[in-house]
Amino acid sequence: MVVKRTEMPGFIKPQLATLKAKAPSGDQWLHEIKYDGYRVQVHLNRGKKKVFTRNGLDWTKRFSGIAGALDIGGEAIIDGEVVVIHEGRTNFSELQAELAAGNQDRLVYYAFDLLWCDGDLRKLPQIERKQMLLDLLGENDIGVPVLCSEHLTGNGQEMFEHAAKLNWEGIISKRADAPYRSERTESWLKIKTVQKGKFPVIGFIKDPTGVAALYLGKREGKELVYMGKVGTGWSRTVSSQIRKQLDTVISPKSKLTKQVKKPKATWVEPKFFADVEFRDITSEGLLRQSSFKGLTRNDKP
């Protein structure tokens, strides 16, 4: 297909995926790993390079190593994700820590779409854009830290279950025949895995009828360390039930080994455990994207 020549645009609002509980099946779907990182759009304009975040912020300096590795002479706009790979999977906490330290050595850019290549490609089918991206990177001998995101076709649920076993964040399923649209669409679907844990409740924030949030800890040997808070996942009725249970074990001070300042906290003896689903643990050791699933009592140390 001949791509019509027009002036290269600035930042393009990204296409976003719709969350689904189950992966689709059929040869019309491409399934990719869902990377846990920063969505990044790279603009290459005859030697000039710019890197934009998902919201259009210019982060060229922060990702200068990735921009430098994309040594492509013409015009191109590449969509992808910057990640850090830790213990076999992408890890957002490790990525945050690298960026906070100003390091780029561990950054990897998984390119998964080509929006522009000496002309606008967004109306082309997804499968054609991916092949053009693969060709572009190959023809220019682009390698690490830039990688092309691979995909599988067929049984998406099977790939999702495999991703869950490997503790990946999930998968993205994309319609092979769909164009690129700068909005949240059903032609891109995201199916997420979750991690689960049981954490002692060390305190809570009151609301008029129950709790607004629970503070959580974790046993590490003889120490009780702070793990952050959870503030979603309960109804008003459940919130009231939690409050009644925690009111029976209120403590005058925190039982944490190392104290944390929480002016709104009502501290409790760590005799109740919260079942929590979460995405990850941050570089500070705190739960990320946590959701409450249940409360149990355990008076054992």
What are the b/e assignments for 62-92, b being 16+ CB within 10 Å? bbeebbebbebeebbbbbbbbbbbeeebbbb
Backbone angles phi, psi at 246, to 5 degrees: -70, -30
d(CA 105, CA 227): 29
Domain 195-297: give its CATH superfamily.
Nucleic acid-binding proteins (2.40.50.140)
pLDDT of residue 301: 40
Q: How far is CA 191 from CA 24, 33, 112, 203, 207, in A?
A: 10, 10, 17, 33, 33
Count of CB atoms situated within 10 Å of the CB of 53: 17
Residues serving a catalytic function are: 34
Label residue 77 by pLDDT band (50, 70, 90). Answer: very high
Label residue 297 by pLDDT band (50, 70, 90). Answer: confident
Backbone angles phi, psi at 160, to 5 degrees: -60, -45
Predicted confidence (pLDDT) at residue 57 exceeds the cutoff of 80: yes
d(CA 53, CA 60): 9
pLDDT of residue 89: 81
State the average pLDDT over residues 154-183.
90
Predicted confidence (pLDDT) at residue 280 exceeds the cutoff of 80: no
Q: Give this prediction's pTM.
A: 0.71
CATH class belonging to 16-179+188-192: alpha beta
What token pair was written down for 273? 């455990």
State the average pLDDT over residues 97-109.
90
In the chain, DSSP finds a helix count (H) and a strand count (E) of 5, 19
Strand, helix or coil for residue 27 = coil
Q: Which of 98-102, 145-149, 200-204 comes out lowest in average pLDDT?
A: 98-102
Backbone angles phi, psi at 131, to 5 degrees: -65, -40
The answer to whether 201 and 273 are in contact (CB under 8 A) is yes
Label residue 228 by pLDDT band (50, 70, 90). Answer: very high
Predicted confidence (pLDDT) at residue 300 exceeds the cutoff of 50: no
Q: Which of 69-83, 98-112, 197-211, 279-293 comes out lowest in average pLDDT?
A: 279-293
Predicted confidence (pLDDT) at residue 42 exceeds the cutoff of 80: yes
Predicted confidence (pLDDT) at residue 64 exceeds the cutoff of 70: yes
Helices (H), 75-155: 92-100, 126-139
Pick from 142, 135, 100: nearest CA to 121? 135
d(CA 201, CA 295): 9
**Across the strands, what pairs with 171?**
33, 191
**Strand 16-19 with 184-192, pairing:** parallel
Q: How far is CA 9 from CA 2, 124, 160, in A?
A: 19, 17, 35
Q: What is the dihedral of CA 166, 147, 151, 174, to 10 degrees?
A: 100
- Give residue limits of the domains in the chain: 16-179+188-192, 195-297
Predicted confidence (pLDDT) at residue 183 exceeds the cutoff of 80: yes
DSSP state for residue 247 in the 8-state scheme: G
